[in-house]
Amino acid sequence: MSIKEKYALTDEGVRNVKRGAAWTAVANLAVFAGVGMTYLAMEAFVAHLTEGAPLPGLAPYAAGLVAFIVVLFIAEYQAYYYQYGVIYKESGRQRIGLAERLRKLPLGFFGRRDLADLTETLMTDVKTTEHAYSHVLPELYGAYITLAVAAVCLFSFDWRLALASLWSCPVGLAILFGARRALQPMMEATRMRGLATSEDIQEALECVREVRATNQEERYLEHIHADVDAAERQAARSEIACGIAVNGAQIVLRLGLATTVLVGASLILEGSCTFMTLFAFLLVVSRIYAPFDQCLMLIAELFSAKTAAARMKSFYEEPLAQGGEKYEPAGHDVAFEDVSFSYDGGEKVLDGVTFTAREGEVTALVGPSGSGKSTCARLAARLWDADAGRVTVGGVDVAAVDSEVLLADFSVVFQDVLLFDDTVMGNIRLGRRGATDEEVLAAARAANCDEFVSRLPQGYDTMIGENGARLSGGERQRISIARALLKDAPIVLLDEATASLDVENETEVQDALSRLLAGKTVIVIAHRMRTVMSADKIVVLEDGRVAEQGSPEELLAAGGLFARMVRLQTESADWAL
């Protein structure tokens, strides 16, 4: 497996890691050159003391020292630049790449992966791999290159001392990497425990009102504390196991220094080696072990990075909702042709659904909860793909069109409104980024936003908090409607768009929608029957099938499911405590 696949790097990231490793090796070898200069100076000094040889001039050593400092400075600077400078941009590229991938994945993927898991991958896993390829990989590969060059030199100098000096490096690394199989499951278990804790905390924040309202704080906190304790215990086990493996490898590595001294001493006693030769080997060996020491201290992060990279790669292995860029529909009729669908292979939500929402008409989808109304809207916008049959827009199968190209023709207001921590104006302008202030304000007035915006401290420039936390449900819904109106797309999907509005505001928004949606293909989903009485066509769904369809008058006269739903809601309107 290549380094790119193993650590989920981009092509630019691979190049920078290689450059960092190369410059790290140059810096290490420059230090060896300094060691060589020290050896030559010591050898000349010993020869002067023992044999009366003249001392060489200082000029060669001074020149060598200057060259050593210059080369070491350049190498260390370049190594630092490629390890901690440009390489940090790799995490940005990775996050953007993952975000782009997520943007193109079908919504079924998000049904299988919860928010905490996705957040962990985008933030924690990317950070884990970032630390590995900035701190560990260049150092490790640089140490490998240094070891290979040093081994060639040492074996050419004295193979016996070279063997005594270097045997511990491959053995120590073999022990450590051999322990990886046992460490990898423990690291994965640590990650899963941490993920469970994150999910607990996220759930607690999202459900804090419900927890307090039901007096479940103590029980809920006990559950969170238990998960935190389990995560700590698992992390401790992983750290201990990894520490044993790393320290064991370091002990073995240090044994090389002992065997160098023992073998060197025995060779000196035999007269087949000089003290200066042993001195040179000791200097070199001490520098060979230094890069490996730093790598071993961080090697656990390298193992953890492989696990993190595998999770990141799983995003890229997911099939995309692909399609062609060419999209030339003959009008904007939305047609369902014998469509069947189930979520992730489960029970059928739609079974043989056939109807057409005509351009210039309002088509209402009604039916009991769970009958498939919202699913129809999502299939129309290709947020999912049908299992059987087809959905067309102007005669073009939506499954053959790129999702982003297709969605340019859709304005969507779902029941669950999503707003950003921005101003009211900024949230509405998401409908069309190039819209002028006048166009934004016109859409806001059409959605009846003026009434509540006038009460905000800075009007349309007021920050509304995360997901519109400072607004009521109805106010958030009106901003979402204004956003859809601003987009002015030829197809409009309204999924319970007025569910959070009171009667007065609902009537005003419906009047605005009636004026501004003229000539468009409009699909409305509603539970309140009076909301859809002005629709051109009503499609009644029951148990994933089309039970009946026609105009409101026709369906009321037929006395079927729609007439029954209208009667029940009329009766419930008179109910009182």
Q: Are residues 439 and 460 in the same domain?
A: yes
Spatial strand order of the sheet with 410-413 comes to 410-413, 491-495, 521-525, 362-366, 537-542, 545-550
Q: What is the mean pLDDT of the chain?
A: 81
| Tens digit of each residue's pLDDT (9 = 90 or more) over 114-134 | 777 777 777 778 877 877 777
Q: Is residue 292 part of a domain?
A: yes
Q: Are residues 293 and 333 in the same domain?
A: no
CA geometry: angle 483, 487, 491, nearest 5 deg: 110
CB 382 within 8 A of CB 327: no
- Residue 548's domain comprises 323-409+492-500+521-577
Q: Are residues 187 and 220 in the same domain?
A: yes
CATH number of 246's domain: 1.20.1560.10
Give the strand pairing for 491-495 and 410-413: parallel
Phi, psi of 544 (to 5 degrees): 80, 10
pLDDT at position 143 over 60: yes
Q: Are residues 477 and 451 in the same domain?
A: yes
| Tens digit of each residue's pLDDT (9 = 90 or more) over 352-365 | 999 999 998 889 99
Q: In this predicted structure, what is the pLDDT of residue 105?
A: 80
Q: What is the mean pLDDT of residues 269-281?
A: 81
CA distance 365 to 172: 69
Q: Is residue 516 part of a domain?
A: no
Give the strand pairing for 491-495 and 521-525: parallel
Point out the domain boundary residue: 439, 468, 488.
488
| Cα–Cα nearest to 280, from 191, 150, 390 | 150
| Cα–Cα nearest to 22, from 135, 134, 141, 111 | 141
pLDDT at position 577 over 60: no
| Tens digit of each residue's pLDDT (9 = 90 or more) over 155-174 | 888 889 889 888 888 888 88
CA distance 506 to 484: 16
Strand partners, 366: 540
512 pLDDT band (50/70/90 cuts)?
A: low
CA distance 470 to 59: 76
Q: Is residue 507 part of a domain?
A: no
Q: Are residues 400 and 440 in the same domain?
A: no
What is the total count of domains within the chain?
Answer: 3
Q: Is residue 509 part of a domain?
A: no
Q: Are residues 289 and 332 in the same domain?
A: no
574 pLDDT band (50/70/90 cuts)?
A: low
Q: What is the mean pLDDT of residues 383-393?
A: 90
Q: Are residues 251 and 372 in the same domain?
A: no
Q: Are residues 441 and 404 in the same domain?
A: no
pTM: predicted TM-score of the whole model, two decimal places: 0.66
Q: Is residue 116 part of a domain?
A: yes
% of the chain surpassing 90 pLDDT: 8
99 by DSSP, 3-state: which? helix
CB 412 within 8 A of CB 381: yes
Q: Are residues 169 and 215 in the same domain?
A: yes
Q: Are residues 455 and 561 in the same domain?
A: no
Q: Is residue 236 part of a domain?
A: yes
CB 341 within 8 A of CB 398: no
CB atoms within 10 A of CB 99: 11
pLDDT at position 71 over 80: yes
Q: Are residues 128 and 230 in the same domain?
A: yes
Instruction: Looking at mean pLDDT, say which of 198-202, 259-263, 294-298, 476-480 comes out highest.
Output: 259-263
Burial 317-329, CB ≥16 within 10 A → b, else e: eeeebebeeebeb
Compute the CA torsion angle 370, 371, 374, 378 (nearest 10 deg).
110
| Tens digit of each residue's pLDDT (9 = 90 or more) over 306-331 | 777 877 887 787 777 777 888 888 88
Residue 301 burial class via C-beta count within 10 angstroms: exposed 0-12, middle 13-18, buried 19 and up: middle
CATH number of 352's domain: 3.40.50.300
Q: Is residue 257 part of a domain?
A: yes
Point out the domain boundary residue: 317, 352, 369.
317
CA distance 282 to 161: 10
Q: In this predicted structure, what is the pLDDT of residue 270?
A: 86
Q: Is residue 133 part of a domain?
A: yes
Give the strand pairing for 521-525 and 362-366: parallel
| Tens digit of each residue's pLDDT (9 = 90 or more) over 194-242 | 878 877 887 777 778 787 888 878 888 888 888 888 888 988 888 888 8
| Tens digit of each residue's pLDDT (9 = 90 or more) over 532-562 | 888 889 999 998 999 999 998 888 888 888 8
Q: Are residues 211 and 235 in the same domain?
A: yes
68 pLDDT band (50/70/90 cuts)?
A: confident
In the block, tokens 């000539």 appear at 519
Point out the domain boundary residue: 294, 317, 340.
317
- Of 2-11, 78-87, 487-496, 524-533, least confident by mean pLDDT is 2-11
